Homo-oligomer: A and B are copies of this chain.
Amino acid sequence: MSGKVKLAEHTWPEVKMLLERDPVAVIPVGAFEQHGHHLPLMVDAHLAGSVCEEAAERACEDGTAIVVTPTVWTGYSPHHMDFPGSVTLDDETFSAVVGQVARSLAHHGFRRIAMINGHGGNMNLLKNLTQTLFYEHGIRAAAASYWDFALAELADWRESDKGGIMHACEMETALMLATRPDLVDMDKASDHLLDRSAYFGADLLSGGAVASAASFRELSPTGVIGAPSFATQERGEALFQAMVARLAAFFADFATWPRNDQEETRT
């Protein structure tokens, strides 16, 4: 069964056997929202799923018992709803969907559940979800965005100035060029950097003190925030490999964490 990491392709007796190995279960979580004129709606779901599957494949090859569920493609994206095609759940429903996927897995005995995110707007909710899963259901899950494991690599890799990595940006465009070049139209990629109070964050790598909310319509006419023009397919491939490597390392580590023995799963 080596190399077979998609849970969707398992039969139930195969899952039953797998559970004896105390496997890691990965839930990729994306979103479905505008990414400017040059990228399709599927970016966040696609990248979360691709990085996870590739990293799981690698961890699996190195001996880690691991499966990846299909990607939850319905994210929390109210700030993109002024752009046609964007889909959003409300915050409670988003948390309920991801949480109930996790609870279903825990019900069957999975005890190493990682929710790996591909959309910044989901992250407060996923962090909170690790809390409600634990305090209300006794399920210990981990949550992170796929780039969180490679922030140092990302800082080294980037060529744009501060502000270049936010949305439909240098990073996402490069990763799309690496994985689905047929869906990227670089001719339509135009940079757009924010000019806001220093109290707000202006780049994925430099946050601000204050949280507030705005529609992307107010911030960018194209829907882009960042510098996609810096992206190339070659650099995208390098970044993709770096991110996969870091995530695979986390999966392997996660598989060895002390198991929560007093865990009482109240699914």
Contact = CB atoms under 8 A, between A and B. Distances in A.
Interface residues of A, number: 88
Nearest to A35: B11
A39 B14 CA distance: 11
Given A74-B97, A100-B93, A84 B128 contact: no
Contact of A84 (B34, B108, B133, B140): B108
Contact of A211 (B41, B105, B136, B143): B143
Given A13-B37, A257-B197, A96 B89 contact: yes
A74 B89 contact: no
Nearest to A99: B93
A87 B105 contact: yes
A104 B161 CA distance: 35
Contacts of A11: 34-41, 85, 185, 188
Contact of A134 (B46, B124, B213): B213
A35 B78 CA distance: 36
Interface in A62-103: 69-70, 72-74, 76, 78-79, 81, 83-93, 96-97, 100-101
A9 interface: yes
B72 A74 contact: yes
Contacts of A38: 11
A127 interface: yes
Contacts of A81: 104, 107
A9 B40 contact: yes
A210 interface: yes
A193 interface: no
A199 B83 contact: no
Contacts of A124: 124-125, 127-128, 131
A15 B107 contact: no
Interface in A5-32: 7-16, 19, 32
Contacts of A144: 209-211
A212 interface: yes
The 10 closest A-B pairs by CB, nearest first: A15-B85, A8-B42, A134-B213, A78-B135, A12-B34, A15-B84, A87-B104, A148-B209, A93-B96, A127-B211
17 contacts: A8-B41, A10-B41, A16-B85, A32-B70, A42-B70, A70-B73, A81-B104, A85-B108, A87-B100, A90-B132, A90-B136, A140-B213, A143-B211, A148-B210, A199-B250, A199-B253, A209-B250
Given A90-B96, A93-B96, 6 more contacts: A8-B45, A12-B85, A72-B74, A127-B211, A142-B211, A197-B257
